[in-house]
């Protein structure tokens, strides 16, 4: 007798975002075979992490890197995914949904997760081309495209999204002005003091703010041209990002006759007024409240899944939210009532020198809320005590100093995370408790942060709980992780940081890689490909003349003085001083290209000529021929001075005010040769028109009528960063002195593979100015050490040829005494 397979009930999800798909994931955990599942998503992507849109805008991540569920996940779970299709109608009589392309799907249970829409100010010009919101990948793509064409941007709204959009556009090279109606940034999450600290920090990062400004109209005919305010003032602008808030997307539900108020109204089981239809996420209104943070939305998803599969044991009672934010690299935390009233008391700690601010609001010795800026490591602890209504009277006097200051009271520990209860929430975004992480580590033999993220999603969203997750991981597997999350070890071979290693090399006079590995008790006796190049550089920098460069600790590019290409051939770029050349050098390049049948010759962005497609066996002969014309390697492969880009300056240009070309040549001849933590680029512009792009270089020089402006810390790559102004000098000799001092300070202080831009952001421009500008003696000591490093530089086997060329008199005596043998 034949049996027929029972048809599964159909579950349809409208909205392929984080809340809806998290609900589906919870359903699959409980009963993976219960439903035939169909998902409609209006975007042409899988489910992605919207929290990480800001890094995509900043150029730090791609859409593929923030995907939470790729196409394979949907296929593996037998889910039908309709990408790029928007549901336009819910037919509650026929139990069907219909999409804009005519697609129809029947349902037995329907889940609404339509999210929210950006709020648009009802002002003239709000619909003009060039007005962009910041809610999805399409918005990010629009902003990235606009940043390549335009210069000036306005962001309306000083909340979290507005500030992230502003910073991302600034990183892309735009001049950004943030317009905020209130006097305090992020006023829903920060009090006035924390908001002012945040504003000051962002102003230091070159964002401009107009506080208490009310936008009256966006100007333009066919495209945005400006913004006008209520007081009648105007500013010119090329694009406007509207980030003034969100509103629940309830239009589809309303059209279907489902009861809505501010959002889609749901019960404690996440059920709408139609018993077959549930709703989760930003579109939902529960007990008069709507939520825009991820943690409560994921909590809703868990409750909803429980009822969809028929368990019926959980209820959603609303969420007490905390906000742990990473705004442009600044730590922020807020929770509960951080304003207080006549019945509450404030405990406040403020350290202006370190930009740290903490405020806890107490009522009857119980925490009602708090806000922190700069140091948020205890945020989870405070939030847990707030949820548990813990009486803090016994340790109130040390409460603001964190959990590690509680001594023998039973609350203290050497590690914040180790002593937390298993029920303590570690990852607010994904609702992951300490016990969940420990159980995953022990049950699945997890050993890395990435393993924990993939199994539990802890630290996979905003990342602010990464330090706590690392502490739990290390304590559970037997490690001894005690350093701050901001201080990362050099590599898996050791627990020591870059700074620990550099300090040990100097204090203990360690003068070989093997000595460092032995003294610091390296886990791998020979190190690895990550640590050996770094140790080689640190030793070269610390002991010029005493330490012999270890060729085996260098990659192939540095060993053969050429860049390896994807087909296995090499790219050779001879140095051209300041971008200048001679007929003799051009003939030598042409002869080499003909003689060795080099297939491609290209002018580079650094004003040099690149010979592409050189066979490895031809490299010694190619360099020998170029050397006969006095040409040496341009270090296009090296962690060293790459180029000194120049314009023609006053010698030829009618706008030039100084001789930028000859200064560029002088700088390049003086600076080249010593290894640096990362590649180092210089440019000299002959006038403020800045044709040499000096303000996106590691060291930039811009000529003015009365001398030279010096700029530092620029980066023109994927993550564009404009330079910081260092100082102004009058003479070329002063430019040279400051350049040598700056590069030596960078050599001695930066971590290996750390560009000048992140280095300056880490140590602060004030610290650099303090050493190079405020003290002549300190600056000159850096110059002395730089010249010493040049004297013993082991760079190219052809450098001796270069020293025969015409140098200025003071450097003629500094010929290298050692040659690197290929």
DSSP assignment of 311-375 equals -----------EEEEEETTEEEEEEE-SS--TT-EEEEEEEGGGTEEEEEEESSSSEEEEEEES-
pLDDT band per the 50, 70, 90 thresholds, residue 402 = confident
Q: What percent of the chain has pLDDT over 70?
A: 88
What's the rounded Cα separation, in Å, for the pair 485 and 404? 16
DSSP H/E element including 285 = strand 284-286
**Those residues with Cβ within 8 angstroms of residue 682's Cβ, 6 or more apart along the chain or in another chain:** 641, 643, 644, 645, 664, 667, 668, 671, 697, 698, 699, 700, 701, 739
Q: What angle do CA 371, 374, 380 make, to 5 degrees?
A: 55
* Mean predicted confidence (pLDDT) in 180-199: 88
Band (pLDDT 50/70/90 cuts) for residue 321 is low
Give 474-509 pLDDT, tens digit per residue: 666 543 222 233 346 788 788 788 888 998 999 899
From the list 722, 692, 786, the residue with the least C-alpha distance to 748 is 786
Residues of the chain with CATH 3.50.50.60: 10-117+248-308, 131-244
Q: How many CA atoms lie within 13 A of 295 on its CB side?
A: 20
- Nearest CA-CA partner of 673 in 573, 552, 789, 752: 789
User: How confident is the model at residue 485, as a pLDDT?
Assistant: 32
**Pairwise CA distance, residues 238 & 173, whole Å:** 13
What SS3 state is found at 449? helix
Range with the poorest average pLDDT among 38-52, 97-111, 294-308, 799-813: 799-813
For the stretch 570-599, pLDDT in tens is 999 999 998 899 999 999 999 999 999 999
Structure confidence at residue 412 (pLDDT): 35
- Residue 719, pLDDT above cutoff 90: no
Q: Tell whether the model's pLDDT for residue 299 goes beyond 90.
A: no
Which pLDDT score is estimated for 750?
Answer: 92
CATH 1.10.10.1100 domain residues, the chain: 413-482
Average pLDDT over residues 759-770: 83
Going by pLDDT thresholds of 50, 70 and 90, the confidence category of residue 814 is very low
What does pLDDT average to over the chain? 84
Lowest mean pLDDT: which of 136-150, 216-230, 425-439, 604-618? 425-439
Judged by phi (left if over 0) then psi (alpha if -120 to 50, else beta), residue 305 lies in: alpha
**Per-range mean pLDDT, top range of 90-104, 632-646, 663-677:** 90-104
CA distance 201 to 676: 29
Q: Out of 74-88, 352-366, 691-705, which region has the weakest mean confidence (pLDDT)?
A: 352-366
* Residue 411 pLDDT level (bands cut at 50, 70, 90): very low
Q: How confident is the model at residue 798 (pLDDT cuts 50, 70, 90)?
A: very low
CATH superfamily of 10-117+248-308: FAD/NAD(P)-binding domain (3.50.50.60)
Listed in order, the ranges of the chain carrying CATH 3.30.413.10 are 641-791
β-partners of residue 367 are 362
Burial class (CB in 10 A: 0-12, 13-18, 19+), 810: exposed
Strands of 738-777, DSSP E: none
Residue 742 has pLDDT above 90, yes or no: yes
- The pLDDT of residue 64 is 85
413-482: CATH number:
1.10.10.1100
Task: Report pLDDT for 795.
Answer: 44
- What's the whole-number mean pLDDT along residues 283-300? 86
Q: Which helix (H) or strand (E) holds 176?
A: strand 175-180
What one-character DSSP code corresponds to residue 46? -
Q: How many CB atoms lie within 10 A of CB 669?
A: 20
* Residues 641-791, CATH architecture: 2-Layer Sandwich (3.30)
**CATH class entry, domain 131-244:** alpha beta
Mean pLDDT on 175-193:
90
* Confidence class for position 143, pLDDT limits 50, 70, 90: very high
When pLDDT is cut at 50, 70 and 90, the band that residue 1 belongs to is very low
What pLDDT is recorded for position 223?
A: 93
Quick check: 345 and 351 in contact, CB under 8 A? Answer: no
Q: Could you tell me which of 687, 735, 679 has the C-alpha nearest to residue 711? A: 735
Mean local confidence (pLDDT), 706-719: 87
- What sign does the CA torsion over 357, 361, 367, 370 have? negative
Contact (CB, 8 A) for 85 and 103: yes
Q: Which two tokens stand for residue 294?
A: 């991820």
* % of the chain exceeding 90 in pLDDT: 48
Highest mean pLDDT among 388-392, 472-476, 618-622: 618-622
3-state secondary structure of 814: coil
Higher pLDDT, 43 or 605: 43
> Half-sphere exposure (CA, 13 Å, Cβ side) for 196?
5
CA dihedral 746, 752, 755, 760 (to 10 degrees): -50
User: What confidence tier does 253 reach under pLDDT thresholds 50, 70, 90?
Assistant: very high
Give the mean pLDDT of 127-134: 93
Q: Are strands 175-180 and 152-156 parallel, antiparallel or unpaired?
A: parallel
Lookup: tokens for 798: 């052809």
Average pLDDT over residues 112-139: 93
CA–CA distance, 619 with 608 (Å, rounded to integer): 18
Expressed in angstroms, the distance from the first to the final Cα of the chain is 81
Average pLDDT score over residue span 518-530? 86
Q: How far apart are CA 320 and CA 388, in angstroms?
A: 11
């Amino acid at each position: 007798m034949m049996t027929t397979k029972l048809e599964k009930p159909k579950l349809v999800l409208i909205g392929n975002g984080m809340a809806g798909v998290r609900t589906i994931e919870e359903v699959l955990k409980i009963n993976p075979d219960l439903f035939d599942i169909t998902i409609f998503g209006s975007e042409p992507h899988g489910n992605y992490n919207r929290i990480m849109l800001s890094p995509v805008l900043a150029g730090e991540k791609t859409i593929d890197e923030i995907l939470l569920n790729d196409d394979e996940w949907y296929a593996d779970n037998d889910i039908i995914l309709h990408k790029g299709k928007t549901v336009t109608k819910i037919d509650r009589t026929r139990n069907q949904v219909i999409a804009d392309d005519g697609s129809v799907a029947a349902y037995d249970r329907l889940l609404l997760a339509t999210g929210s829409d950006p709020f648009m100010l009802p002002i003239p010009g709000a619909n003009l081309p060039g007005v962009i919101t910041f809610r999805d990948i399409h918005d990010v793509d629009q902003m990235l495209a606009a940043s390549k064409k335009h210069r000036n941007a306005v962001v309306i709204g000083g909340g979290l999204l507005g500030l992230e959009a502003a910073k991302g556009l600034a990183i892309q090279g735009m001049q950004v002005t943030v317009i905020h109606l209130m006097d305090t940034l992020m006023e829903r999450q920060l009090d006035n003091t924390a908001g002012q600290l945040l504003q000051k920090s962002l102003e230091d990062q070159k964002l401009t703010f107009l506080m208490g400004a009310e936008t009256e109209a966006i100007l333009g005919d066919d495209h945005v041209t400006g913004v006008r305010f209520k007081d009648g003032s105007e500013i010119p602008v090329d694009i406007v990002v509207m980030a003034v808030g969100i509103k629940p997307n309830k239009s589809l539900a309303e059209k279907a006759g489902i009861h809505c108020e501010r959002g889609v109204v749901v019960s404690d089981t996440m059920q709408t007024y139609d018993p077959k239809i549930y709703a989760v996420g930003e579109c939902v209104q529960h007990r008069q409240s709507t939520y825009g943070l991820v943690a409560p939305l994921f909590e809703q998803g868990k409750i909803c899944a429980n009822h969809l599969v028929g368990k019926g044991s959980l209820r959603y009672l609303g969420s007490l939210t905390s906000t742990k934010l990473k705004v442009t690299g600044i730590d922020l935390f807020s929770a509960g009532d951080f304003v207080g009233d006549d019945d509450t008391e404030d405990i406040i700690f403020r350290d202006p020198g370190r930009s740290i601010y903490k405020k806890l609001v107490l009522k009857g010795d119980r925490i009602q809320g708090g806000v922190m800026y700069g140091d948020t490591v205890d945020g989870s602890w405070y939030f847990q005590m707030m949820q548990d209504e813990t009486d803090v009277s016994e340790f109130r006097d040390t409460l603001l100093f964190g959990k590690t200051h509680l001594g023998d009271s039973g609350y203290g520990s050497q590690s914040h995370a180790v002593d937390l209860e298993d029920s303590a929430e570690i990852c607010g975004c994904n609702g992951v408790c300490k016990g969940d992480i420990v159980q995953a580590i022990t049950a699945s033999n997890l050993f890395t942060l990435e393993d924990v993220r993939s199994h539990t999603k802890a630290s996979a969203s905003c990342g602010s709980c990464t330090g706590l997750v690392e502490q739990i991981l290390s304590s559970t597997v037997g490690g001894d992780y005690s350093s701050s999350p901001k201080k990362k070890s050099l590599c898996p071979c050791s627990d020591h940081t870059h700074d620990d290693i550099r300090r040990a090399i100097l204090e203990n006079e360690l003068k070989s890689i093997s000595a460092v590995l032995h003294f610091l008790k390296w886990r791998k006796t020979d190190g690895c490909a990550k640590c050996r190049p770094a140790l080689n550089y640190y030793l070269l920098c610390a002991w010029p003349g005493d330490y012999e460069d270890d060729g085996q600790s260098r990659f192939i590019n540095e060993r053969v003085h050429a860049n390896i290409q994807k087909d296995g051939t090499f790219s050779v770029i001879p140095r051209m001083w300041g971008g200048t050349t001679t007929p003799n050098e051009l003939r030598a390049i042409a002869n080499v290209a003909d003689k060795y049948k080099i297939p491609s010759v290209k002018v580079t962005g650094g004003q040099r000529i690149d010979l592409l497609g050189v066979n490895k066996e031809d490299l010694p002969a190619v360099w020998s021929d170029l050397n006969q014309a006095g040409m040496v390697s341009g270090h296009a492969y090296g962690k060293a001075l790459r180029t000194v880009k120049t314009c023609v300056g006053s010698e030829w240009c009618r706008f030039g005010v100084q001789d930028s070309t000859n200064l560029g040549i002088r700088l390049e001849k003086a600076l080249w040769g010593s290894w640096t933590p990362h590649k180092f680029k210089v440019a000299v512009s002959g006038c403020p028109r800045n044709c040499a792009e000096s303000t996106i270089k590691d060291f930039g020089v811009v000529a003015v009528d009365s001398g030279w402006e010096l700029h530092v810390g620029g980066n023109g790559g994927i993550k564009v960063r404009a330079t910081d102004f260092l100082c102004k000098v009058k003479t070329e000799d002063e430019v040279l002195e400051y350049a040598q001092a700056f590069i030596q300070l960078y050599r001695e202080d930066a971590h290996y593979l750390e560009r000048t831009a992140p280095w300056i952001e880490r140590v602060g421009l004030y610290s650099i100015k303090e050493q190079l500008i405020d003290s002549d003696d300190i600056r000159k000591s850096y110059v002395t050490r730089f010249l010493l490093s040049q004297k013993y530089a082991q760079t190219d086997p052809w450098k001796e040829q270069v020293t025969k060329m015409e140098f200025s008199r003071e450097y003629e005596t500094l010929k290298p005494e050692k040659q690197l043998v290929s």
